[in-house]
Structure 1
Amino acid sequence: MPKAYVFTRDGGPETEALVDLDRPRPGPGQILIAVRAAGVNPVDWKLREGFRRPGDAPRVHPVVFGSEAAGVVEETGEDVTGFAVGDEVFGNTVTGGCAQYALLRADVTAHKPAEVSFTEAAALPVAAATAHDGLRQLDLPEGATVLITGAGGGVGSAAVQLARTAGLRVLGVASAGKKGFVESLGAVHVPSGPGWTERARAAAPDGVDAVFDLVGGDVLTEAAGLLTDRSKLITAGAAAQDVEKLGGHRLVRTRTRAVLDEVARLVVRGDLNPHVTRTFPLERADEALRAVEDGHSQGKIVIEVSG
């Protein structure tokens, strides 16, 4: 039977297991793929701990990890057009991507360009697409200054690159250990930790025009104090009610095939590097989850599934 990496109940890492699961069958609007790679994101362990997205259906365990995947089309469901068996694709999952087979939503699935590897493609549907959506929401003019918290992670590193491509000046808040990485992306590094807002003010004496937050908590609150116009404060790291109290907004995800096509074109053009810094086989998915959960990873971590 096909293998999948799951959590068997809500809780900590002790709930995780590599198990045998039946191969899923695509329903209307769905595509079944043989997974070649799956991206790992902070939301994976948050869901395991019990986090629920608005509108989530009641949870039935075991739950397969992974919100994004790339692979080869095995079967299509009713009402699916534009995809055929054998196509190389990437997109957002219905069933988790950390498995040998996964279901994708056809409306949030795109054809993988030949120039983009499966590993790179698996890093795009969540991290790169979130960065794309956030910068579009901020709608800043060329030459504006944007501060990005969590700049060394998967979404943050993509956001820095896309902001620089758009002609923005970027302050990237990240740990001291990620200084070289953040600067290599084209940002001015601002070391995180106590006093970081004073360091940000020193780096941008004329002020910042927008904040793209990926951390939440006290960091979000402190970042809000750097802005005169709080409408230019967005977050993907905190709940809507938390950022709205500060005068800002929750990042609004578009989740369309057109966005996936666009970020893939940026990779082909050389304007976006997914920066997959570590890969793990499916049999070591636990190590991949720990690398993201401990908060010290930089760039993207991807699980590679053998064909």
Structure 2
Amino acid sequence: MTPEPTDAASRRVVFRRFGGPEVLEIERRAVPRSAPGEVLVRVAAAGVNPVDWKLFSGEPMHDPYERSLPSGNGYDFSGTIEALGDDVSGWRVGERVFGGLRYEAQADHLVIDPDLLVRVPEGLSLLVAGALNVVGRTAVASVESQRIGEGDVVLVSGATGGVGILTAQLCVLRGARALGTASTRNHPLLQRLGIHPLAYGDDLTEAMRAAAPDGLTVVLDTVGHGTVDLTLSLGVPADRINTIADCEARSRHPVRGVGGAEAGGPELAMIAQLLADGRIELPIDSVHPLEDVRAAYARSIEGHATGKIVITTAPVAEADEID
């Protein structure tokens, strides 16, 4: 077994009551120890996801996540393997890895089953890898749910959010024509990525008709806000609509609701390699040190992030310092 670190200064984000970002605290603890069959990861970066703040808010959710107090926080992470428990093979100390561990990711260290880890390919930063688990799996599963290919005209709602921007780019890679709703300030980004931008507003219906005169063939909804009802009214068949955001619409219409649970390690490895090769991009909206976790979630709750918000354990949270 690899010797365990001897220092006892390991931080993690916790909440002991439900509420807004103000309930998040930094707790100091001894460095956790890996049991047989586990590995200890030194976390470098951890992604921020809307589901996180829905969980620590205590609000009712459609998905039956278990919640108890006190709790750690976060799901997405990247880092390096720092120690191996007994009976672990196929991994080595120092390897760069990423993945997801609910309620444990926002910390200096975490202990995890190595079967849940994915190697970070050369050319992909730990900063981006730390934001990839949820959005990567969700984007791949959403695109796969409709077997998108050449000839498809796809609307991606929320096309500059973390899930949306990966989803739209995967559609383009498959030869489809991708349209994406986004704030006008983000239209140049979508155009550069080969995605036709559509502005939110009262004239969205006409803008869709003008951009796709022969109609949409697929809708991949990442934000809700009436996207399902609108595109059904435009003649898109219900079974060609997938929404990860509008549970209420799924209760009223036979649309699909395929999300990240439908994808795993192989899909994450695939999308990580696409990012490493520069074939797709995952913009980083903002980077916050662990001590500023409340500010990171305030930014997420605002709802205007472009790409992903990331928390780092480094003293200075600069993207080019987490390589």
Identity of aligned residues (%): 33
Aligned match of 1:158 in 161, 166, 182?
A: 166
- TM-score, normalised on structure 2? 0.86
- Say whether 1:294 aligns with 2:294: no
Kept in 1, the 8 Å contact 2:153–2:217? The answer is yes
- TM-score, normalised on structure 1? 0.90
* Larger displacement relative to structure 2 (121-130 or 223-232): 223-232
Larger Rg over CA atoms: 2
Partner of 2:257: 250
CA distance in 2, matches of 1:29, 1:206: 55
Partner of 2:176: 168
Q: Deviations for 1:272-293, whole angstroms, at most 9, x for unmatched residues?
A: 2121132111111221111111
SS in 1 for 2:127: helix
Q: Give 1:76 shift.
A: 4.2
Partner of 2:21: 13
SS in 2 for 1:48: helix
Aligned match of 1:101 in 87, 109, 112?
A: 109
SS in 2 for 1:5: strand
Kept in 1, the 8 Å contact 2:148–2:171? The answer is no
- Cα 1:105/1:150, change in 2 over 3 Å: farther
CA distance in 2, matches of 1:28, 1:223: 51
Partner of 2:271: 263
CA distance in 2, matches of 1:223, 1:25: 51
Partner of 1:132: 140
CA distance in 2, matches of 1:41, 1:305: 17
Partner of 2:228: 220
List alignment gaps of at least 5 residues for structure 2. 1-8, 316-323
Kept in 1, the 8 Å contact 2:78–2:129? The answer is yes
- Say whether 1:36 aligns with 2:33: no
Partner of 1:56: 65
Q: Deviations for 1:157-212, whole angstroms, at most 9, x for unmatched residues?
A: 11111111111101101122322222222211111133422321221111101110
Amino acid aligned to 2:257:
R
CA distance in 2, matches of 1:274, 1:79: 36
CA distance in 2, matches of 1:22, 1:226: 57
Please tell me the root mean square deviation across aligned C-alpha atoms, in Å: 2.2
Kept in 2, the 8 Å contact 1:234–1:243? The answer is no
